[in-house]
């Protein structure tokens, strides 16, 4: 197999930070190559250098054996490289067709010739089974289709090498399977594919070879035939990682949290669930199926149109956010930086946020107490930081999440509502966060876990419910279900009449 | 029947009203194109008032210097373009706040024209009369009853507005430049990732827009008064901003919106003739403006990235 791409000794600095430290990547022609690493390992930076977005400080790029200078996306495209970004680069209010041709329009004296472009697009679409609807506005199509549009966009530009940045982050399990089929079809066409990912399972499922980056350094390239999740995780993190959270059976007590017929506009339809002491209830589902609204209703940010919420038998539907916190519900919101913490605040401020009334004397903050408590939280929950006075914005995702978790766990609520606890968090930190969550259940807390990550849900939960288009469409014991089964319900691929009615 | 009606008072009033609606709408429409181009490229243009003012001033100056009003028109285009370039440099190169830059442009326009008025003509209030641009009777067409009277006895600025509207619509929706421009206002990062020179488009669109706004100013000075008087634009720039919004950033839409504002002005003048209290009647166009800007009239969808700074290195984080 010949070499499609060789990036050697790539160095990239952002100010005082060295993002890439002599990174190396060799990709063979016609293979699927996974670029694996934790957040901040430099995967995306390396690919942005290849795509001409970031200039490199040192190093060489060879394409098909010849040394190349790539200084802009235009030059990358001309060299046959295309990149599909994690956040799709699509213009929402233009049609699928317009998005595909943008920048490489078929024209006659500058006037667009849609007919010619359409033939080309449809040909690509048919040849590779990439179904798209050319006249739909991009804002009206589902994510899976957006991704197909991005891939066609790349092929339309004659890409030989296609880079996909975290392509599965927004997809449901069936969509991931579909994506992998498409990638295999592209590989059979002779295209070279690089996927950036931090998911071990996906790497092993799709890639031929995998290159692992850690702290901007190359940790080696190995064939996936020889790799196991444990080997890859060790290469990523630098120590052995327990990938499977160990869940011990917990003692379940009486019901502490109960939702009855919760309805909120179109977003929530008759939500019923109960949550027992010592139990973890996982809410699975593709994002945008009502998770946000459910969380807001439980937090008290919105009042449901109908239905009630009971905490230990007391109706708290009309209680404010503050009241609910006092009554013993701890919240870990879904968007860490938006609602969980204030990044521009210091660690000590974030450590008591929402609980500040516990730390005051006649309206004046009691700093002695605050300092002691915030230090304790940082220590107990292993937050790596310069101290309580450091800005939280300087923390990595994993450490910020530990701080947030620490704040809520420290203040000892009976019920914990936890949303996406490991989103944007590294493998090593995930291990720790999972352990802590399980620990809380063991201590008799009732936990509602909302997550888009099926593995997480399955590993941590006792019971799992699936949220689809605002309804809980399925309920099962975590031990007696499969990923495939849950994936089907998450994607809405079930017969609505036969779906098991939820409501206890 | 028709002929009988045509000689009636009602016909006289209505034809007069429509005709003056078109006249009043022209400077607004031209200036609104300025905002349309600029904002489609993602740059908020609140500086229309200032752009119109320099356009009006330099139009008169050109006509004064050469005796040919069309030279004045060229002057106004250049002046508008140069002023808009200042806005472009502030917002694109130095990443200044778009709204503040636009307001600064208005103040600059007022200041420059006031100073030059004194410096050149030694008069604080107004310029001398110069050769203006007068309505043109289009042979043949202007003789058609009613229609000819309304549409074909208008100022050349009116015909220019219609021509720019048609050309702009075609460019926006039928050419690759238009497609790219529309995409830039929505998602510049996406356009940049495809290897298109986003900033070239942004600069060109802002400057071209400035030229149209300058033309709108010339329409007021050369087309209406044949002279320049201090602060003569008196808020029309802001009304043009409102027209841009009401017209949903579409070349045809903004002309229709300008016509609405033109109509309120025309009604205002007529009502004054009928003895309505002037202070009240003069409020009309501004009340409509407030209703429009407050979003009471229709739901509009501005370009999503308008007013946001684009920088390749921090857009892809």
Closest CA to A440 of A504, A359, A380: A380
Each residue's pLDDT tens digit, A295-318? 999 999 999 999 999 999 999 999
**Residue A92: closest CA among chain B residues belongs to which residue?**
B186
**Chain B: closest CA distance from residue A11 (Å):** 17
pLDDT value of position B317: 37
- Which alpha helices (H) appear in A51-85, and where do they start and end? 73-78
Distances (CA, A) of B302 to A240, A433, B36, B97, B245: 52, 43, 10, 18, 8
- Cβ-contact A11, A22 below 8 angstroms: yes
- Bridging pattern class, strands A329-332 and A415-419: parallel
Beta strands in B24-66 (DSSP E): none
For residue B176, give the nearest of A53, A107, A153 by CB distance: A107
- Chain B CB contacts of A98 under 8 Å are 179, 183
Q: Which domains does chain B have, with CATH numbers?
A: 14-299 (1.10.3470)
Contact map slice: B 144-183 vs A, CB within 8 A: 174-177, 179-180, 182-183
Closest CA to B9 of B270, B275, B265: B270
A59 touching B (Cβ < 8 Å): no
Angle at which helix B236-246 crosses helix B251-273, to 10 degrees, equals 130
Contact map slice: A 338-357 vs B, CB within 8 A: none
Choose, out of A101, A102, A337, the residue to mutate when testing the contact with B (most B CBs < 10 Å): A102
**Rounded Cα–Cα distance for residues A154 and B195 (Å):** 12
Instruction: Over range B267-292, report the average pLDDT.
Output: 79
Residue position matching structure tokens 């007013």: B307
Contact map slice: A 155-214 vs B, CB within 8 A: 157
> Cα(first)–Cα(last) distance of chain A, in Å?
59
User: For B52, what's the count of Cα atoms within 13 Å in the CB-facing half-sphere?
Assistant: 33
SS3 A263: strand
- Chains A, B: CB pairs < 8 Å: 78
**Chain A: closest CA distance from residue B179 (Å):** 7
- Cβ-contact A261, A272 below 8 angstroms: yes
For residue A91, give the nearest of B174, B176, B187 by CB distance: B187
SS (H, E, C) A450-490: ECCCHHHHHHHCCEEEEEECCEEEEEEEHHHCCHHHHHHHH
Each residue's pLDDT tens digit, A83-96? 999 889 999 999 99
**Rounded Cα–Cα distance for residues B29 and A312 (Å):** 65
Each residue's pLDDT tens digit, B137-151? 888 888 888 888 888
Across-strand partners of A472? A467
**Rounded Cα–Cα distance for residues A102 and A150 (Å):** 12
SS3 A7: strand
Name the pLDDT band for B79 (thresholds 50, 70, 90).
very high
pLDDT value of position A339: 86
**Widest distance between CA atoms in chain A:** 76
pLDDT value of position B148: 85
pLDDT value of position A504: 35
| Contact across the interface for A89 and B179, Cβ inside 8 Å | no
DSSP H/E element including A115: helix A114-128
| Contact across the interface for A103 and B175, Cβ inside 8 Å | no
**Chain B: closest CA distance from residue A243 (Å):** 28
pLDDT value of position B315: 44
Helix, strand and coil content of chain B, in percent to the nearest 5, comes to: 70, 0, 25
| Contact across the interface for A104 and B316, Cβ inside 8 Å | no
- Chain B CB contacts of A99 under 8 Å are 190
For residue A85, give the nearest of B177, B193, B301 by CB distance: B193
| Contact across the interface for B301 and A111, Cβ inside 8 Å | no
B285 versus A161: the higher-pLDDT residue is: A161
**Rounded Cα–Cα distance for residues B179 and B199 (Å):** 15
**Residue A85: closest CA among chain B residues belongs to which residue?**
B316
Task: Please enumerate in sequence order all residues whose Cβ is within 8 A of that of B234, keeping only pairs 6 or more positions apart, or say none.
Answer: none
Question: Has residue B157 got a pLDDT over 70?
Answer: yes
Name the pLDDT band for B27 (thresholds 50, 70, 90).
very high
Question: Has residue B297 got a pLDDT over 70?
Answer: no
| Contact across the interface for A104 and B194, Cβ inside 8 Å | yes
- Chain A CB contacts of B191 under 8 Å are 91, 102-103
B95 touching A (Cβ < 8 Å): no
Each residue's pLDDT tens digit, B199-225? 999 999 999 999 999 999 999 999 999
**Rounded Cα–Cα distance for residues A56 and A45 (Å):** 9
A199 versus B25: the higher-pLDDT residue is: B25
pLDDT value of position B289: 75
**Chain A: closest CA distance from residue B51 (Å):** 30
pLDDT value of position A463: 94
For the record, the structure tokens of A437 come out as 């969550």
**Rounded Cα–Cα distance for residues A481 and A490 (Å):** 13
pLDDT value of position A502: 43
Residue position matching structure tokens 């500040």: A356
pLDDT value of position A500: 47
Question: Has residue B285 got a pLDDT over 80?
Answer: no
- Bridging pattern class, strands A17-28 and A3-14: antiparallel
Which residues of chain A carry a pLDDT beneath 70? 1, 494-504
pLDDT value of position A490: 86
- Which alpha helices (H) appear in A162-301, and where do they start and end? 173-188, 200-206, 229-237, 291-299
């Amino acid at each position: 197999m010949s070499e499609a791409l060789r990036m050697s000794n790539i160095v990239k600095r952002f100010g005082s930070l060295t993002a890439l430290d002599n990174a190396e990547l060799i990709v063979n022609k016609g293979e699927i190559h996974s670029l694996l690493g934790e957040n901040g390992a430099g995967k995306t930076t390396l690919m942005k250098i290849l795509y001409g977005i970031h200039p490199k400080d040192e190093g060489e790029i060879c394409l098909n054996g010849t040394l190349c200078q790539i200084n802009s996306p235009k030059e990358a495209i001309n060299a046959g490289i295309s990149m599909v970004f994690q956040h799709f680069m699509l213009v929402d209010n233009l049609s699928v067709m317009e998005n595909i041709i943008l920048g490489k329009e078929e024209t006659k004296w500058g006037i667009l010739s849609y007919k010619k472009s359409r033939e080309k697009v449809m040909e690509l679409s048919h040849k590779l089974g990439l179904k798209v609807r050319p006249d739909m506005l991009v804002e009206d199509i589902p994510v899976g289709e957006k991704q197909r549009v991005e891939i066609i966009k790349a092929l339309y530009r004659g890409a030989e090498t296609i880079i996909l940045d975290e392509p599965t982050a927004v997809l449901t399990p069936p969509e991931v399977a579909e994506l992998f089929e498409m990638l295999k079809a592209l590989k059979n066409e002779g295209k070279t594919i690089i996927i950036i990912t931090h998911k071990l399972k996906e790497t092993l499922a799709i890639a031929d070879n995998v290159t692992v980056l850690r702290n901007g350094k190359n940790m080696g390239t190995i064939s996936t035939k020889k790799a196991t999740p444990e080997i890859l995780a060790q290469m990523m993190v630098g120590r052995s990682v327990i990938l499977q959270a160990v869940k011990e059976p917990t003692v379940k007590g009486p019901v502490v949290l109960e939702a009855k017929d919760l309805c909120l506009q179109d977003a929530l339809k008759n939500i019923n669930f109960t949550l027992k002491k010592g139990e973890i209830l996982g809410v699975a589902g593709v994002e945008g199926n009502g998770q946000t609204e459910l969380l807001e209703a439980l937090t008290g940010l919105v009042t449901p149109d109908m239905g009630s919420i009971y905490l230990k038998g007391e109706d708290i539907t009309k209680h404010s956010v503050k009241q609910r916190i006092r009554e013993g519900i701890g919240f870990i919101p879904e968007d860490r930086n938006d609602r969980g913490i204030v990044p521009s605040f210091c660690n000590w401020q974030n450590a008591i946020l929402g609980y500040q009334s516990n730390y005051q004397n006649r309206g004046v903050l009691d700093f002695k107490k605050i300092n002691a408590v915030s230090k304790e939280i940082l220590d107990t929950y292993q937050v790596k930081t310069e101290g309580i006075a450091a800005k939280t914005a300087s923390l990595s995702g994993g450490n910020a999440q530990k701080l947030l978790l620490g704040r809520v766990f420290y203040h000892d609520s009976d019920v914990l509502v936890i949303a996406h606890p490991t989103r944007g968090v590294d493998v090593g930190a995930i291990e720790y966060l999972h352990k802590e969550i399980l620990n809380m259940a063991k201590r008799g807390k009732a936990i509602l876990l909302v997550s888009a990550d099926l593995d997480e849900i399955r590993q941590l939960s006792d019971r799992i419910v699936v949220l689809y288009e605002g309804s809980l469409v399925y309920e099962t014991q975590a031990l007696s279900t499969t990923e495939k089964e849950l994936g089907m319900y998450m994607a809405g691929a079930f017969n609505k009449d036969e779906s098991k009615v939820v409501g206890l | 029947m028709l002929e009988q009606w045509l000689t009636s008072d009602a016909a006289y009033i209505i034809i007069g009203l429509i005709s003056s609606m078109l006249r009043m709408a022209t400077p607004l429409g031209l200036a609104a194109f300025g905002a349309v181009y600029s904002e489609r490229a993602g740059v908020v243009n609140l500086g229309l008032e200032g752009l119109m003012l320099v356009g009006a001033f330099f139009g008169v100056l050109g006509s004064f210097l050469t005796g040919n009003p069309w030279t004045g028109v060229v002057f106004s285009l250049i002046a508008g373009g140069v002023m808009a370039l200042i806005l472009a440099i502030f917002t694109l190169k130095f990443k200044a706040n778009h709204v503040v830059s636009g307001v600064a442009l208005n103040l600059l326009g007022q200041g420059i024209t006031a100073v030059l008025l004194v410096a050149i003509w030694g008069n604080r209030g107004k310029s001398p009369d110069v050769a203006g641009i007068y309505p043109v009777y289009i042979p043949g067409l202007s003789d058609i009853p009613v229609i000819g009277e309304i549409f074909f006895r208008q100022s050349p600025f009116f015909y220019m507005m219609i021509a720019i509207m048609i050309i702009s619509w075609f460019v926006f929706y039928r050419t690759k430049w238009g497609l790219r421009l529309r995409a830039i206002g929505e998602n510049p990062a996406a356009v940049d990732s495809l290897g298109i020179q986003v900033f070239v488009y942004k600069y060109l669109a802002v400057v071209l827009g400035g030229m149209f706004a300058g033309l709108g100013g010339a329409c007021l000075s050369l087309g209406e008064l044949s002279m320049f008087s201090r602060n003569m634009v008196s808020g029309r720039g802001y009304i043009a901003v409102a027209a841009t919004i009401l017209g949903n950033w579409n070349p045809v839409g903004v002309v229709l919106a300008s016509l609405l504002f033109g109509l309120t002005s025309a009604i205002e003048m007529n009502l004054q003739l009928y003895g309505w209290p002037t202070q009240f009647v003069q409020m009309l166009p501004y009340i409509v403006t407030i209703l429009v800007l407050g979003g009471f009239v229709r739901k509009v969808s501005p370009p999503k990235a308008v007013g946001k700074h684009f920088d390749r290195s921090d857009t892809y984080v």
